[in-house]
């Protein structure tokens, strides 16, 4: 993750060094060498994803003159989106992500929770099934509405076990996900309270372009709304399908995923098959970006 960006860009290198210093963890080394089981731990994974995204953004800004019409980020990706929209400085974003990751890791220790994908049921039915499987002290709820037909649920492990039986009775399937805990559920409210205090102490600027929010799908440039979102989204569903559709309403027909991997590119294509899409998380993908925006070399 981000190794070639760091090797070829001083700005990217400095961002990784900043992440190492802020977290007190060898983020740079783990991104380059692993091991995967350490890299995927909540307190490491979140800063690693965001710093790689910020490094990719820095390289794009060095190499190409691109100005987005609007931006959005998926879950922790909202922090990188805020930097892209000039709401936060990179250092502030990484500092907040570190607080978020630690608070979420602590919240996960208080519950035996996890997440799972539900296949074969529509969104409304998944919501009803979650309600049926929940009890007063053990709940499960919709966490990610990622693309048509892809819904992720989150909650207590025994509630998800009950949900599995209910879904089976409705001819659906439940696939366990390898995650650190029940993210985007009520069990993350303690983490949201911790993060909210840090958000109050951080300067937020008005966004240079509209930012579409995970929790409400509102397009906003208001700094107070942007600040509020980062706490609320910890325990709210990521409404990604509607987010992508909202970007399309704003006039976006070219989408650039900035950061590690190509997962979001796939989700966008399933939601908006007509959209043009590229991903940028390594120098090798710069040609794809040029092609997307029809930018000549030289």
Q: Where are the domains of the chain?
A: 3-108+187-240, 112-181
Quick one: DSSP state of residue 205?
A: P
Q: 3-state class of 146 per DSSP?
A: strand
Domain spanning 112-181: CATH superfamily: Malonyl-CoA ACP transacylase, ACP-binding (3.30.70.250)
pLDDT given at position 295: 77
* Euclidean distance between CA atoms 233 and 260, whole angstroms: 21
* Euclidean distance between CA atoms 181 and 179, whole angstroms: 6
Q: 3-state class of 138 per DSSP?
A: strand
Q: Which numeric CATH code is attached to 3-108+187-240?
A: 3.40.366.10
Q: 3-state class of 8 per DSSP?
A: helix
* Euclidean distance between CA atoms 179 and 95, whole angstroms: 22
CA distances (Å), 42 to each of 195, 218, 220, in order?
A: 15, 28, 29
* Euclidean distance between CA atoms 195 and 189, whole angstroms: 10
Q: 3-state class of 284 per DSSP?
A: helix
Name the residues annotated as catalytic.
75, 184
- Find the DSSP H helices in the chain: 3-8, 10-23, 27-33, 36-39, 42-63, 77-84, 90-109, 123-133, 157-169, 189-200, 223-232, 240-249, 263-271, 286-293
- Which are the contacts of 287, defined by CB distance < 8 A and separation ≥ 6? none
By the 8 A CB rule, do 29 and 3 touch? Answer: no
By the 8 A CB rule, do 78 and 136 touch? Answer: no
pLDDT given at position 5: 95
Q: Residue 66: is it exposed, middle or buried by C-beta count within 10 angstroms (0-12/13-18/19+)? A: middle
pLDDT given at position 298: 52
Do 112-181 and 3-108+187-240 have the same topology in CATH? no
* Euclidean distance between CA atoms 244 and 73, whole angstroms: 10
- Which are the contacts of 175, defined by CB distance < 8 A and separation ≥ 6? 116, 117, 119
Of the candidates 157, 159, 170, 161, which has an alpha carbon nearest to the alpha carbon of residue 126?
Answer: 170
pTM, to two decimals: 0.96
Q: Which backbone phi and psi does 87 adopt, to 5 degrees? A: -80, -40
Residue-level pLDDT, tens digit, the chain, 298 residues? 999 999 989 999 999 999 999 999 999 999 999 999 999 999 999 999 999 999 999 999 999 988 999 999 999 999 999 999 999 999 999 999 999 999 999 999 999 999 999 999 999 999 999 999 999 999 999 999 999 888 999 999 999 999 999 999 998 999 999 999 999 999 999 999 999 999 999 999 999 999 999 999 999 999 999 999 999 999 999 999 999 999 999 999 999 999 999 999 999 999 999 999 999 999 999 999 999 998 766 5
């Amino acid at each position: 993750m981000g190794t070639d960006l760091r090797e070829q860009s001083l700005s990217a290198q400095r961002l990784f060094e900043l992440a190492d210093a802020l977290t007190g963890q060898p983020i740079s080394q783990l991104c380059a060498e692993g091991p995967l089981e350490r890299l995927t731990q909540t307190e490491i994974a979140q800063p690693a994803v965001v710093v790689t995204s910020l490094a990719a953004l820095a390289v794009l800004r060095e190499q190409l003159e691109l100005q987005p019409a609007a931006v959005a980020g998926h879950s922790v990706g909202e922090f990188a989106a805020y930097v892209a929209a000039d709401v936060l400085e990179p250092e502030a974003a990484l500092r907040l992500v570190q607080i978020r990751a630690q608070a979420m890791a602590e919240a996960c220790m208080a519950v035996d929770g996890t997440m799972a994908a539900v296949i074969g049921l529509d969104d409304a039915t998944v919501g009803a099934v979650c309600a049926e499987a929940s009890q007063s002290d053990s709940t499960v709820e919709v966490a990610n509405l990622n693309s048509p037909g892809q819904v992720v649920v989150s909650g207590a492990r025994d509630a998800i076990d009950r949900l599995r039986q209910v879904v089976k009775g409705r001819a659906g399937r439940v696939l366990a996900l390898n995650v650190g805990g029940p993210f985007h559920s009520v069990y993350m409210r303690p983490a949201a309270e911790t993060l909210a205090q840090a958000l109050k102490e951080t300067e937020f600027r008005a966004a240079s372009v509209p930012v579409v929010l995970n929790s409400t799908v509102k397009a906003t440039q208001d700094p107070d709304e942007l600040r509020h979102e980062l706490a609320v989204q910890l325990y709210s569903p990521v409404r990604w399908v509607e987010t992508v559709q909202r970007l399309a309403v704003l006039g976006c027909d070219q989408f650039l995923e900035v950061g590690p991997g190509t997962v979001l590119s796939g989700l966008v294509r399933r939601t908006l098959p007509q959209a043009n899409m590229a991903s940028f998380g390594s120098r090798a993908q710069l040609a794809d970006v040029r092609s997307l925006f029809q930018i000549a070399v030289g």
